Amino acid sequence: MAELDPFDTATIRYGVLESWRLSATRLAEDAASESDLVEIGYRDRLLTELAANAADAAVDDDGELSIWATPDNLLHIANTGAPLNASGVSALAALRVSAKTPGPDPSAHASVGRFGVGFSAVAAVGVEVAIRSAYGGVVFGTRRTAEALADTGIPADDRVPMLRLPWPDPIPPAAGFDTEVVIGLRPGLDAADLVADMDAQIETLLLELTALRTITCGGRRLERTITTTDGVDTVSVGDRSWVQVSAPHARWLMPGSPNRPRPVRGEVLHAPTRTDVELTLPALCIADVALTPDRRGLHPEADIGRVATGYHHLALALDPVERLAVVPTPGFAAGRVDDALRTAVLDDLIGSRWLPTADDALAQPDRAVVLAGLTEGLGTLLADVLDGLVHPALSDNASLPALRSLHVEQITLADVVERLTGMTREPSWWSSLYDALTPLIVDDRTAGEIGAIPVPRSDGRVSIGARGLVIADRHEWTSDDVPGVAISWLPTVHPDAAHPLLERLGARRMTVGEIVDDPALRAAIDTADDDAVTEEVLALLATDPHAPVPDWLGGLLVPDTDDELRPADELLLPDSPVASVLATDSPFGIVDAATVHRHGPEVLRRIGIGWGFTLITDELPAGPDHDLPDESRWWDSLDTEPQQMAAVRDLDLVDPDRWRRALSLLVDDPAIAATLADRTGYTAWWLRTFAEIDGRPLGHLRAPDDVDLSGLLDPIDHPDADKFAGALAGPTIESDDHAAIVLRHLGDPDRVIAPGIAAQAHSALVLAHRRRIIDLDRLDAPTAVRTLAGTTSDTALVLDRPWLMQVLDPAETVICAPPIDSDIAAGLATVLDIPTASEELHTEIVDHDARSSTWRDSPTALADAITRGVPAASGAVMIHDRLRIEVRRGERRDVVDVDWWVDDTGIHHLVAPAPAPTTPKA
């Protein structure tokens, strides 16, 4: 039975052999051409070319390809789809002839193979190849070709072409496939090794050849699937995936997913299978572009630029924050083609709307701006200020090179500030802006860039820059719903715009206390002719109940009940307690009721409007310049200038008959009560000097529990006397009147005054005289004085020598507080206008049989010093068995026994102790 030859291979062989017989050169040319294709053009493209043939044969993009090795070292490549036909066999047996039909555009064929030479890649590894198909098969082989040449007598050298002479092959393809290529390998090649090498290519082939859906290589099966989510195609092959977009002249694939792309590095151009054209693009490019016959390079007439058309759609397929992954990395191109394609890709990106902006829109890169380090918060605020502001996620420093390559304009903080100038926004918007800017202000340089940033003020104006502005502290008791308080005397930042960043830019944060103590407010008060400033101050003070208030705020103009404006410190609150103790001709008015209702009595009291007595303070008073009654006189009474001052004003306006009630009001105020404890302070001094109870000055009365003045001064009759004891008389004589009352009471025989109290009073009088607090020319000399016996006398003497006490009658002796000092005694004699004892008495020692000794040698002298608690003297001492003194006062003479004496020469005379008793002392 004749061998079946469905493709008439015999005719093909005859034609080829006849051409070789007629032209030995033709045989050599065919052998050389095949060798060139094998060794140069298609040396490493076996699987690629066979897969391309399988793709061209596939039906409905559902092609399947399988590669395997058999134990007999044969390499099998099988596919589904259109089987081999006669034209195909003719093309296989001819060089540079393809049976595939081109489209109208020669550079845009529907099929992958175009030149009819790709199958020659099998000759790179094989010596025989069979193509088995559903309608018959053919086989080529170098051995068969050599035998045919020998049979026909055509001379040939050792190199003959393998793919010019086909023979029929009756073996059908492997089950389940429409075509199978079986390659008998060259010696030294292992089919299993080739399969293993091909396994690395199948993933890329499934991406390149869309007509193939699955490829199985050596038992590992990979399938390509495409899923579409929100209009974005994701191609998956095995466990890898790519984001894919189709442009007019190319498909672009980015490894990874839309929210996690993985840009490629070191890829080549695919058209559709891989070429040798190196690219530096971040995406896989599968282009529809003309190639050279060996499918390794770009055809000289091919327009690579058009491949980039629509490239920006790949960016649109990615999540907005990942879109810069499609931008080619700045650097050198890998070659002429790469350079041209990179340029075209960048042009497509630059001229298309795909770049995400801060307002979640899309911008054309050459119309966009980027602020390095832009944050989400700042981006949200600036989105409606800066057109085309690049999204914060794409504004980090790492993204800037890519953005620059896209011609995106990079702006600075200074540019932002310039564009903000003149804008109108709510103050809270500006505060949010400052907060968003803060992370970007990392040093003085960046702070300087925003130095001219607009800052809204409380008065409605906008300042350029924060320097010189004031930030008023907000407090925990200030609700965010409370409208901003106007502060007209200072350039104050609107409270809703206040932010710590402004302090770094030159604004000064001030507390409410500092704001109301600013000299600018004082100047505003001095020039005010209405209560506008007053309303601002009162509203401001209401935000901080504990802010200190300067006394001069009493000059704020406040309407009274007659609708006239008067200084606050000339007004009282309605029904104020202090009004009940002031004189009827007091200059105070009553504040308008509407003002009280609007601001409340507590705030009004803080600016000096009276409720109780007003306390003014001065931490460093410079002089008696506080407009207090008799302030200069008090100042002059001080030994040293005070370092701080707290004084109650308007004490001179109290009705003299209402001091009992007024004192109760004073001590009911804790702050004022504290000042009354300071005897040297103005308030206590003024009350002692001028305030009266029942017609008697407070300075002439003592506190009920002050026993040190018992009998000398009368106790005040007041239930709160212990709380204002500092305003009552003390142990110190403070004035002529005080001295006069003390002298009068000391000489009053009806008063019971303890001797110790009288002695302290005498010392106080001497001290006041020495300090010139009292003037004796303005005092009447007392008619009687208080004696040591507690009685009064008009003939008493001041004890000025302690030993004279032994010869004086206590009822005739006046003393100062011990120890006895002759100078102090002389001063007391001057104040009382009576003589001292040493002036009035003449004394002489009667007994002269004394024994002379010294303080060093005499036990009697030492014992005397110990007994009297005085230091032992030095020098001579006289020891008497009995010591008597003759005392003469006028015509009267007396002799008195004494225990010790000091004569006019200063020598001490002592009495020797009595003889020791017969019974020893313990």
Mean pLDDT of 170-177: 94
Question: Please, what is the angle between helix 9-22 and helix 24-36, to 10°?
Answer: 110
- Please tell me the predicted confidence (pLDDT) of residue 484: 56
- pLDDT over 60 at 482, yes or no: no
How confident is the model over 363-382, as pLDDT tens digits? 999 999 999 999 999 999 99
Beta strands in 351-477 (DSSP E): 355-356, 362-363, 369-371, 409-411, 454-456, 462-464, 470-472
Mean pLDDT of 736-744: 95
For the chain, the straight-line distance linking the first and the last C-alpha, in angstroms and rounded, comes to 170
- Please tell me the predicted confidence (pLDDT) of residue 108: 37
pTM, whole model, 2 decimals? 0.64
More confident residue, 919 or 469: 469
- Please tell me the predicted confidence (pLDDT) of residue 733: 93
Mean pLDDT of 346-368: 95
Rounded CA-CA distance 323/328 in Å is: 11
Q: Which pair of structure tokens corresponds to residue 104?
A: 């109208």
More confident residue, 483 or 120: 120
Mean pLDDT of 320-330: 94
Beta strands in 729-832 (DSSP E): 785-786, 792-793, 797-798, 813-814
- Please tell me the predicted confidence (pLDDT) of residue 478: 45
Beta strands in 70-166 (DSSP E): 74-79, 126-133, 137-141
- pLDDT over 80 at 483, yes or no: no
How confident is the model over 75-115, as pLDDT tens digits? 999 999 999 999 889 988 886 555 454 444 433 334 554 43
Q: Which pair of structure tokens corresponds to residue 302?
A: 């091919």
- Please tell me the predicted confidence (pLDDT) of residue 107: 37
| Mean pLDDT, the chain, integer | 90
- Please tell me the predicted confidence (pLDDT) of residue 918: 57
- Please tell me the predicted confidence (pLDDT) of residue 43: 59
Beta carbons of 715 and 753 less than 8 angstroms apart: no
- pLDDT over 90 at 800, yes or no: yes
Note the helical H segments in 669-754: 670-676, 682-690, 736-746
- Please tell me the predicted confidence (pLDDT) of residue 81: 93
User: Counting every residue, how long is the chain?
Assistant: 922
Q: CA 702, 708, 710: angle at the middle one, nearest 5?
A: 60
- Please tell me the predicted confidence (pLDDT) of residue 476: 43
Side-by-side strand order, sheet with 876-880: 851-854, 876-880, 908-911, 900-902
